[in-house]
A and B are shown apart, each in its own frame.
Chain A
Amino acid sequence: MTIRHHASNETLAAYAAGTLDLGRRLVVASHLERCAACRGFVRGMEHVAGVMLEDLAPTPMSADALAHTMARIDREPSVRRATAALPASDQSGMPACLRPYEMGRWRWVGPGVEMRPILLPEAEKVRVFLLKAVPGTRLPQHTHEGSELTSILAGSFHHEGGDFFAGDFEEADDDTEHRPVVGQGETCICLVALEGRLKLSGFVGALLNPFVRL
């Protein structure tokens, strides 16, 4: 499987720096699980951050910081507890990064199209969900408002911007205008982080706009 569409440098750097919101982070993480090239850049930027950390002029810690931390270490159990079993959504075929999160139910959003929300800990301005569309689904053209990250987990879709297959990544913003068609063969499943309300963007906006109010 060749990945042709990657996350942008800025998005990957923000991921490495830890400054992406949770919703976008999950979608990027699902792409990283499959894309060695993007993983390489994220790792490279982590090394850059490591060097910058190393070269930073130190700020003195509070006087009792070390003693305090040593005391906490003394209270640590000698054997590390196994990481608590993670709940709910450990399903085969799903990205590992989704494991800690519960999902809502699949919901019908239009002919041949379903969505399933990933339940985030708190309301964020970016929402994440799985989107499933049967082969051949054609979507009406739409203009965009807000940004959208899409990680293609299975199947494919095509629009003026290119052909997107499993493993690919798409970033759409308010300048993008597309008329996507779901590819033949396999059902298309995407993980999507969508910013803002209504007037939805990109592939997903085109899918959802006629059908649901989000």
Chain B
Amino acid sequence: MAMDDKPLVELDFSQMIVAVARHRDRSAFAALFEHFAPRLKAYLVRAGADEAQADELAQEALLTLWRKADTFDPTRATAATWIFTIARNLRTDRFRKQWRDVPAGDDMPDTIDEAASPDETLSDAERGERVRQALRQLPPEQIKVIELSFFEDQPHAEIAQTLGLPLGTVKSRIRIAMTKLRDLVGDLS
């Protein structure tokens, strides 16, 4: 790929989050919103929320991004990964109602806030590319079951129906894919 194919300014969402943290940059926030809110909504709908809930929760997630931007560490996570964990934590909180004064999402350790790894200077795009490379080593039918069961939280029986496969096949496929993934992404940082 020729270098000059790249746009002059490459959008890096991590840097936008940093701009929100440091300068309360509203246009960076708006750009993050435009990119991620519709994707979060799509994710939440697939994970079982209705349209209105998903819209509201996606907004809530972006508001949380605004509030907690200073806790984001671009050397350890991509914007997409961090934003996923925000939505995930909101979603699990929402599903078990509010309780006392525990701040939303704060009881779940941010596992991505980890001890620093040697590779500190990867961009969002490079980090994402590493994960995509790892995923490409799985056959598509294994990626599919991971997508459905892990990401979209569909029960095994439902996946079996969707894919027209016996339940046992779905289960063993997930197990095999998980074992491979543990090797492939277990030490990605």
Query: Which residue numbers of A lie inside 8 Å of B, CB to CB?
Result: 9-10, 13-14, 16-19, 22, 25, 29, 32-33, 37, 39-54, 56-62, 65-66, 68-70, 72-73, 76, 78, 80, 83-84, 86-87, 96-97, 100-101, 121-122, 124
| A45 CA to B109 CA, complexed, in Å | 15
Q: Which of B26, B34, B100 contacts A73 (CB 8 A)?
A: B26
Residues B185 and A69 in contact, CB atoms below 8 Å apart? no
User: Which residues from chain A contact B187 at a C-beta distance below 8 Å?
Assistant: 40, 44
Residues A13 and B178 in contact, CB atoms below 8 Å apart? yes
Q: Which of A37, A46, A52, A59 contacts B111 (CB 8 A)?
A: A46
A9, A29, A39, A122, most chain B CB atoms within 10 A: A9
| A179 CA to B106 CA, complexed, in Å | 38
Residues B109 and A32 in contact, CB atoms below 8 Å apart? yes
Q: Which of B89, B101, B174 contacts A84 (CB 8 A)?
A: B101
Residues A48 and B109 in contact, CB atoms below 8 Å apart? no
B68, B127, B188, most chain A CB atoms within 10 A: B188
* Contact A69:B131 (CB < 8 A) given known A9-B178, A41-B186: no
Q: A50-B82, A59-B42 are known contacts; what are 12 more A-B pairs with Cβ within 8 Å? A: A18-B91, A22-B92, A39-B114, A47-B78, A50-B77, A50-B84, A51-B132, A53-B39, A53-B83, A54-B78, A59-B45, A97-B109
Residues A17 and B153 in contact, CB atoms below 8 Å apart? yes
| A101 CA to B100 CA, complexed, in Å | 10
User: Which residues from chain B contact A54 at a C-beta distance below 8 Å?
Assistant: 39, 78, 80, 128
Could you tell me the dominant secondary structure of chain B's interface residues?
A: helix
Q: Which residue of A lies closest to B20 (CB)?
A: A73
* Contact A76:B131 (CB < 8 A) given known A25-B108, A66-B33, A68-B59: no
User: Which residues from chain B contact A57 at a C-beta distance below 8 Å?
Assistant: 42
* Contact A97:B107 (CB < 8 A) given known A44-B187, A46-B112, A50-B128: yes
Is B157 positioned at the interface, with any CB of A under 8 Å from its CB? no
Is B135 positioned at the interface, with any CB of A under 8 Å from its CB? yes
- Tell me how far the C-beta of A73 lies from the nearest C-beta in chain B, rounded to whole angstroms: 5
- Tell me how far the C-beta of A47 lies from the nearest C-beta in chain B, rounded to whole angstroms: 5
11 intermolecular pairs with C-beta atoms under 8 Å apart = A17-B153, A18-B89, A47-B127, A49-B150, A53-B43, A57-B42, A59-B38, A61-B38, A69-B59, A78-B24, A80-B67
Q: Which residue of B lies closest to A96 (CB)?
A: B109
User: Which residues from chain B contact A101 at a C-beta distance below 8 Å?
Assistant: 107
User: Which residues from chain A contact B81 at a C-beta distance below 8 Å?
Assistant: 46-47, 49-50
| A19 CA to B47 CA, complexed, in Å | 10
| A16 CA to B58 CA, complexed, in Å | 19
| A69 CA to B31 CA, complexed, in Å | 13
Residues A56 and B146 in contact, CB atoms below 8 Å apart? no
